[in-house]
Amino acid sequence: MKKSTKTSVIDDLVNTINTTYSDYVKSLTPRTKLIDTFLLYLLALGILQFIYVLLVGNFPFNAFLGGFISCVGQFVLVVNLRLQYNAENFKIFNSTPERALGDFIFASLILHFIVYHFIN
Amino acid sequence: MTSTTKLKVLGINIETIKLLLQVIIFISIAGASISSRLFSVIRFESIIHEFDPWFNFRATKYLVNHSFYDFLNWFDDRTWYPLGRVTGGTLYPGLMVTSGVIWHTLRDWFGLPIDIRNICVLLAPAFSGLTAIFTYFLTTEMKDSNAGLLAAIFMGIAPGYISRSVAGSYDNEAIAITLLMATFYFWIKSMKIGSVFYGTLTALFYFYMVSAWGGYVFITNLIPLHVFVLLLMGRYNHKLYTAYNTWYAIGTLASMQIPFVGFLPIRSNDHMAALGVFGLIQLVAFGDYIKSRIPEKQFKTFLTVSMILIAGLGIGGLIGLTALGWIAPWTGRFYSLWDTSYAKIHIPIIASVSEHQPTAWPAFFFDTSMLIWLFPVGVYLCFQDLKDEHLFVIIYGVLCSYFAGVMVRLMLTLTPIICVSAAIAISKLFDVYLDLSEFWHSSSSTRTKLFTGLSKLLVLSSFTYYLFFFVYHCTWVTSNAYSSPSVVLASKNPDGSPAIIDDYREAYYWLRMNTAEDAKVMSWWDYGYQIGGMADRTTLVDNNTWNNTHIATVGKAMCSSEEVAYDILKQHDVDYVLIIFGGVIGFSGDDINKFLWMIRISEGIWPDEIHERDYFTERGEYRVDGQAPKAMQESLMYKMSYYRFHELFMGRDAVDRVRNQQIPIQNAPELSVLDEVFTSTNWIVRIYKVKDADNLGRDLKKASAFGKNSKKTRIAKKPKIDLRE
């Protein structure tokens, strides 16, 4: 009996992932595709830096943190932008894509200014 | 309270009138909050108060006399002799930079060369006006602008906040509370509308707060807690995600720019809650996305599996990293928040600070008057509509009530939320009782009208009375309890006329004028900042208390016998020893009353040389009279305090007016390793010079016994008081 529940759980999980993925692919527009590629890029960059630190050591710790956090920060900012671009969410945020882009640029500028200050 | 129809009074739009009235009210509130903080300036003078402000003042002077980079790289060799202190890297520069910027702006742009001291003295009152305005905005987000105005005036004059922001109390809290309210306002705003812009502003004000006060950790934990509770209640939405992530990403990065904070945000446990919630909200957002795509049952399995995985990983990771030493464990102040006796047992240095003591119950009423009983009503009303932002008030209120009960100084962070929720309560009451529309519209009988009218009148008049009483109470408390600079003491002559006791400045001025510029002065750490600020002499320990061993060394010198103490004094190149003695005029905050802490702190480092028990009598009493134990009578502190004390009593038994004990004439202490060089008018400050080793190689006890027959030489030179800087 235990085995059967286990397999059903795994089945469920696989099912979940499949439906979500297909749904996701269906909902893509050129714009969100671009954003998502950028997100993936940031993710890869962050992971690369992390691996580098594990292999080589974190000597200029400032620089690593600056680089890593700029990836993470930019990532969440882009996710915010993407959420606000999503047509379903217009009503929640009560704002326009232009406004979202403006906010995004403002926040990113500040983020990168601090990062530059941080890495010396 | 917006009306759709455009009403006009005297031909002017009613909205315009409302705006005008609001502006006038704001100006009056700012005026009230600034002027009620000026008691001390009017009664005494424009002077920096207490202890810590003297350091801030000294640092500010350094900042305006040198460049900003010099300030950040400042190594101060005039404190903590012989260690020195990396001052630039161990302070919160926000306060000094703020006044430095104001000073430069006024001088360079407006051509107003204002003394930096006056800017420092008046900074706190000026910022209190801003606090009132931010409190208005915050409360407006909670209810409406009526409640906002009430909260602003409460905040402006509540003694709990005034206690740390009177003119002259130039401390980090002076601007930190303003920034606290600003950060919270922008947080609520960004959370409500999900704006990246406001989230960024929250982060920027958070950064300013981090640069100004160590209490920023409160924000670092409160906002994540708010988010966490919202997540638990299933109130996740994309706005919350946007606001929190923007704040956390930018705010954390920004906070690491302050040298004193450094890498703490990723290393210390105090900051881990924020990181954890950051991770959690990503997962919740992801889960939310998946939930919208798949059927419920599948989602449940998905949820359980991922929950177990994440919880295991998170807790294991935290414990593992702490054990490996990657994350610093919680600090002593943090533990003492949960276990009130923790500090007393483990870190006497924290417990010895009076503002770390638990709060006495009357203090709550004293500091907030009627607001304290309106506070629960406001919290209850928040429960009634329980929107996301009301939850914030509730969490803040509950947490801070606890913290304020544990530590006196945290009364300061409780006061804003008391003001906000009390304002919500009162404005709700006024909304109901000031609503007179039924008198014109309703068709009820005259009798009912009369009774409702009467009851309304009764409630309104009693609350108007309470409000008047509140203002009266606040003014009274401010003027009587919180407006003393503590550097200058006020007292009364026997005939009732006011007298000013200015012993501190007298003594510090004597030090400044009569000692070598590089003289080292030893005193208990409380007076370190003042000696550095006013006398400009090198000190061994000061209020920064970063090195417990060094403080314990000073404590040991104070509480051991002359011979032992002399070695310590010589090892540390001490030239002068300064003590505070209140026995003559009955000033209770003197060193003999703090003596037990010196003993406890040095016992912590030298448990086999110093024993607290030795300083109590057989019956466990703390006495300084004839029954005082031997260790007590032989301690350097006792001897310095009562040296020549009997001369005031013409050879009879001396009476210590603080402890109300008689010191018999045969107990009059003799000093052989120190020379008395200065004693202030009311004997509050006594300064001793450390003798050099004897020329003939005798020990100092013999030498002074020999020299006793010759005539006494005491320098009785007093400084000219009118030549003050």
Residue range A26-47, pLDDT digits in tens: 777 788 888 888 999 999 998 8
The two tokens of residue B417 are: 């939320």
> Which residues of B are less than 8 Å from A20 in CB distance?
289-290, 293-294
More confident residue, B444 or B391: B391
Question: What is the total count of domains within chain B?
Answer: 2
CB contact under 8 Å between B263 and A104, yes or no, is no
Do the domain assignments include residue B543? yes
Domain boundary among B276, B306, B328: B328
> Which residues of A are less than 8 Å from B206 in CB distance?
none
Torsion sign over Cα A11, A15, A17, A18: positive
- At position B715, the amino acid (one-letter code) is I
Using CB atoms, pick whichever of A19, A66, A114 lies closest to residue B294: A19
More confident residue, B465 or B369: B465
Domain boundary among B308, B328, B348: B328
Evaluate whether B305 touches A9 at the Cβ level (below 8 Å): yes
Using CB atoms, pick whichever of B196, B203, B299 lies closest to residue A80: B196
CB atoms within 10 A of CB B506: 19
Tell which residue, B506, B535, B508, B511, has the closest CA to residue B681.
B506
Q: Residue B200: closest CA among chain A residues belongs to which residue?
A: A107
> What mean pLDDT do residues B501-509 have?
88
Question: Is A12 in CB contact (< 8 Å) with chain B?
Answer: yes
The 3 state secondary structure assigned to B619-686 is CCCCCCCCCCCHHHHHCHHHHHHHCCHHHHHCCCCEEECCCCEEECHHHCCCCCCEEEEEECCCCCEE
CB contact under 8 Å between A89 and B298, yes or no, is no
Task: Return the pLDDT at B725.
Answer: 45
Percent with pLDDT over 90 in chain B: 17
Cα distance between residue B595 and residue B610, in whole Å: 13
Question: Is A65 in CB contact (< 8 Å) with chain B?
Answer: yes
Task: Return the pLDDT at B206.
Answer: 93
At B169-213, the pLDDT tens digits run: 898 888 999 999 999 999 999 998 888 889 999 999 999 999 998
* Domain of residue B599, CATH code: 3.40.50.12610
The whole-angstrom distance between B292's CA and the closest CA on chain A is 9
Percent with pLDDT over 70 in chain B: 90
At B418-438, the pLDDT tens digits run: 999 999 999 999 888 887 776
Question: Is A78 in CB contact (< 8 Å) with chain B?
Answer: no
Do the domain assignments include residue B40? no
Using CB atoms, pick whichever of B263, B289, B301 lies closest to residue A9: B301
In this predicted structure, the answer to whether residue B381 has a pLDDT above a threshold of 60 is yes
Mutation pick from B69, B189, B192, B196 vs chain A, by most beta carbons of A within 10 Å, is: B196
The 3 state secondary structure assigned to B37-71 is CCHHHHHCCCCCCCCHHHHHHHHHHHHHHCCHHHH
Do the domain assignments include residue B363? no
Using CB atoms, pick whichever of B249, B282, B293 lies closest to residue A73: B249
Element (H, E) at B95: helix B94-104
> Which residues of B are less than 8 Å from A25 in CB distance?
none
Evaluate whether B138 touches B78 at the Cβ level (below 8 Å): no
**Residue span of the structural domain in which B267 resides:** 173-328
In this predicted structure, the answer to whether residue A57 has a pLDDT above a threshold of 80 is no
Peptide bond into B376 cis (omega under 30): no
Do the domain assignments include residue B196? yes
Do the domain assignments include residue B415? no
Do the domain assignments include residue B376? no
Do the domain assignments include residue B152? no
Domain boundary among B298, B328, B358: B328
> Residue B608, SS3?
coil
CB contact under 8 Å between B242 and A83, yes or no, is yes
> Minimum mean pLDDT among B287-296, B318-327, B474-483, B554-563: which range?
B318-327
More confident residue, B375 or B647: B375
The whole-angstrom distance between A98's CA and the closest CA on chain B is 13
At B648-668, the pLDDT tens digits run: 888 778 888 888 888 888 778
- At position B422, the amino acid (one-letter code) is A
CB contact under 8 Å between A83 and B238, yes or no, is yes
Which residues of chain B approach chain A closer than 8 Å at the C-beta? Answer: 193-197, 199-200, 203-204, 237-239, 241-242, 245-246, 248-250, 252-254, 256-257, 263, 266, 282, 285, 289-290, 293-294, 297-299, 301-302, 305
